[in-house]
Amino acid sequence: MNKTKLWLVAFLTVSSLLAAQPKPPQKIALRCGALIDTKSSRTIPNAVIVLEGDRIVAAGAGVAAPEGARTVDLSRKTCLPGLIDNHTHVLLNGDITATDYDEQLLKESIPLRAIRATANVRTALMNGFTTMRDLETEGAMYADVDIKTAIEHGYIPGPRMFVATRALAPTGMYPLLGYSWELKVPEGVQTVDGADNIRRAVREQIKYGADWIKYYSDRRYYVNDKGALRSMVNFTPEEAKAIVDEAHRLGHKVAAHAIGRDGIQAALDAGVDTIEHGDGLDEELIDTMVKRGVYWCPTIYVGVYVAEGRAAAGAPVWKTMMDLEAKAFALAVKKGLKISYGTDAGGFAWSEAQARDFTYMVKYGQTPMQAIQSATTVAAELLGMQDKIGAVEAGKFADIVAVDSDPLRDISVLEHMKFVMKSGVIYRNE
Ligand SMILES: [Zn+2]
């Protein structure tokens, strides 16, 4: 090495050491007209939230803004914790009919889908969703892990992500279906059969970055003569158990898509942690879930969004499912089932309001406070993140959003987010 090079190396080393010196974290004080305390179920008027770096250090009515802190005036707004959506598909852009779905998988490359996903996660964050559990890429392989990484590295704005990668279904039980056997078409999931192959698939997904394992418990929904929503179960009991056992053994949780009674029962028998959609929930199933602490993500609005289109395409059962879910929801609220906010956004277009489910949850039986808790405290618990997110209190991440009026009076105001902060960084302030 010559002298110049030696100097250059020395200079780079010193400057990188200097750059690595931690800067004192920025102090910010948010003055909120009101703060919704999701833990005590109360509204605190004239609250001050003090943050240092990415964390909240104090919050409440009697809290003083520390000297030198930058003050943000939200005195005409209602503040609440950043919202959590525990069922999204950032790599999907609306899927009313099979044609909508197939077109995306057949005509869009995975890089193009990932580019669209970068816009979708930005939209979600601006909607006030600071954390999301994304439940499979619908044929886009492990691109959700890349989106998550890009957000974590600060390349793109987006929520804190928990991802499920490819999801699992047996051969012939998930789209794309109906093409000539001469064609090799993309699969919307990782197709897998037999307990051994399943264990390998679970290991593979975790190896490449899956936080959660998701599988499709059922399909072919129908209403029987007693008015119960039934379905055909996808995996054998042995296979479903292999999914759950292997995921749990490796320290990961399992989400099951389960719509009909049969699919929900099979998923509960296998030992899953969350039931997705769950339109066919009845009293017995709800009791089992309450007893075992299984969470429900009802994804209501997507059912409303796709019902007309799917009925017109020859599946009127989707309209009946809407009504059945409303009944199941009321019963679940009464029985104290843990209901987590989960929309299936991506199943409906990202231009739709991601906060629309709140209105349905209130219409179907929750109080506005319960609906907000489903997207904060309860959703955080589902993720095992209750110590870090879901409430505005000292020690938690500074994930704070605000709206113009009181969502406890009119929950639909959450569709008009005015202020969004994630980890102490302001992304929206109107
Ligand atoms: Zn979904």
Among 54-58, 159-163, 303-307, 340-344, name the one with the lowest average pLDDT.
303-307
Between the CA of 368 and the centroid of ligand 1 the distance, in Å, is 24
Please tell me what DSSP assigns to residue 390: S
Residue 22's pLDDT band, with cuts at 50, 70 and 90, is low
Q: Distance between CA 430 and CA 417 in Å, rounded?
A: 9
Q: Distance between CA 120 and CA 143 in Å, rounded?
A: 13
Q: With DSSP H G I counted as helix, E B as strand and the rest as coil, what are the percentages for the chain, rounded to 5?
A: 35, 25, 40
Between the CA of 364 and the centroid of ligand 1 the distance, in Å, is 21
Q: Percent of the chain beyond pLDDT 70? A: 94
Between the CA of 63 and the centroid of ligand 1 the distance, in Å, is 42
Between the CA of 169 and the centroid of ligand 1 the distance, in Å, is 14
Between the CA of 10 and the centroid of ligand 1 the distance, in Å, is 53
| Domain 83-354, classified CATH 3.20.20.140, yes or no | yes
Per-residue pLDDT for 25 more than 80? no
Contacts of 329 (CB under 8 A, 6+ apart): 298, 300, 339, 361, 364, 365, 366
For CATH 2.30.40.10, list the domain ranges present in the chain: 26-82+392-429
Residue 123 corresponds to which tokens in the numbers above? 């939209």
Output the average pLDDT for the chain: 94
273: nearest Cα among 286, 255, 289, 251 = 255
Backbone conformation region of residue 95, classed left if phi is above 0, alpha if psi is from -120 to 50, else beta: beta
Q: Distance between CA 283 and CA 24 in Å, rounded?
A: 54
Cα 226 to Cα 222, 230, 232, 318, 330: the distances in Å are 11, 10, 17, 17, 20
Residue 138 corresponds to which tokens in the numbers above? 């619908």
Between the CA of 163 and the centroid of ligand 1 the distance, in Å, is 12
Between the CA of 216 and the centroid of ligand 1 the distance, in Å, is 10
Between the CA of 75 and the centroid of ligand 1 the distance, in Å, is 38
Asked if residues 202 and 165 have their Cβ atoms less than 8 Å apart, the reply is no
Query: What integer pLDDT is reported at residue 373 of this predicted model?
Result: 98
Query: What integer pLDDT is reported at residue 12 of this predicted model?
Result: 52
Neighbouring-strand partners of residue 223? 229
Strands 419-422 and 425-429: antiparallel
CATH class label, 26-82+392-429: mainly beta
Between the CA of 297 and the centroid of ligand 1 the distance, in Å, is 10
Between the CA of 344 and the centroid of ligand 1 the distance, in Å, is 5
Residue 318's pLDDT band, with cuts at 50, 70 and 90, is confident
Between the CA of 15 and the centroid of ligand 1 the distance, in Å, is 48
pLDDT in tens, 177-209: 999 999 999 999 999 999 999 999 999 999 999
Q: Distance between CA 35 and CA 41 in Å, rounded?
A: 11
Residue 15's pLDDT band, with cuts at 50, 70 and 90, is low
For CATH 3.20.20.140, list the domain ranges present in the chain: 83-354
Residue type, 384: G
Residue 322 corresponds to which tokens in the numbers above? 């809407």
Count CB neighbours of 9 within 10 A. 11
Query: What integer pLDDT is reported at residue 313 of this predicted model?
Result: 85
160-163: strand order across its sheet: 83-88, 129-134, 160-163
Between the CA of 345 and the centroid of ligand 1 the distance, in Å, is 8
Among 92-96, 176-180, 220-224, 344-348, name the one with the lowest average pLDDT.
92-96
Query: What integer pLDDT is reported at residue 2 of this predicted model?
Result: 58
Asked if residues 53 and 396 have their Cβ atoms less than 8 Å apart, the reply is no
Task: Tell me the pTM.
Answer: 0.93
Between the CA of 392 and the centroid of ligand 1 the distance, in Å, is 29
Asked if residues 379 and 392 have their Cβ atoms less than 8 Å apart, the reply is no
